[in-house]
Amino acid sequence: MYTIKRAAELTGIGLPTLRAWERRYGVVSPVRSEGRYRLYSDGDLRALRIMASLVDDGWTASEAAAETLRRLDGVDPAMLPPGGTVGEGTVDGPARVGGPAGGFVDGVEPDGLQEVMEAAADLDASRLGVVLDRAFADENYPRMVGGWLMPVLLSVGSAWADGRITTAGEHLVSHAVHRRLAALYDATPKATAGPLVVLGLPPGSRHELGLLAFSVGARRAGMRTAYLGADLPTAEWVGAVSRRHAGAAVLSVPRLADAVAAQAVVDAVRQQAPGVVMAVGGGHQGQVAGALLLGHDLAAGVKALGASLPRTRSARA
- Interacting residues with ligand B12 (CB under 6 A): 10-12, 49, 52-53, 56, 150, 153-154, 156-158, 160-161, 170-171, 174, 178, 204-211, 214, 250, 252, 254-255, 257, 281-283, 294-296, 301
Q: In this complex, which beta carbon is closest to ligand B12, that of residue 254 or of residue 306? A: 254
CA dihedral 129→108→208→308, nearest 10 degrees, is 130
- Going by their DSSP bridges, the two strands 277-281 and 292-293 should be labelled as parallel
For the chain, first and last CA: distance in Å? 54
Closest CA to 194 of 217, 221, 213, 176: 221
Nearest distance from C-beta of residue 60 to ligand B12, angstroms? 14
Rounded to a whole number of angstroms, the minimum distance from the CB of residue 310 to ligand B12 is: 19
CB 186 within 8 A of CB 215: no
Shortest reach from residue 36's CB to ligand B12, in Å: 26
Give whichever of 34 and 118 is closer to ligand B12, judged by the CB atom.
118
In the complex, the smallest distance separating the C-beta of residue 12 from ligand B12, rounded to whole angstroms, is: 3
Q: Which is nearer to ligand B12, 11 or 41 (CB)?
A: 11
Nearer to ligand B12, 191 or 288 (CB): 288
- CA–centroid distance for 179 within its chain: 16
C-alpha dihedral over 284, 82, 65, 25, to 10 degrees?
-110
**Longest Cα–Cα distance in the chain:** 66
- Residue 161 CB, shortest distance to ligand B12, in Å, is 4
- Is 32 or 60 the residue whose CB approaches ligand B12 more closely? 60
CB nearer to ligand B12: give 178 or 270: 178
- Residue 195 near residue 248 (C-beta atoms within 8 A): yes
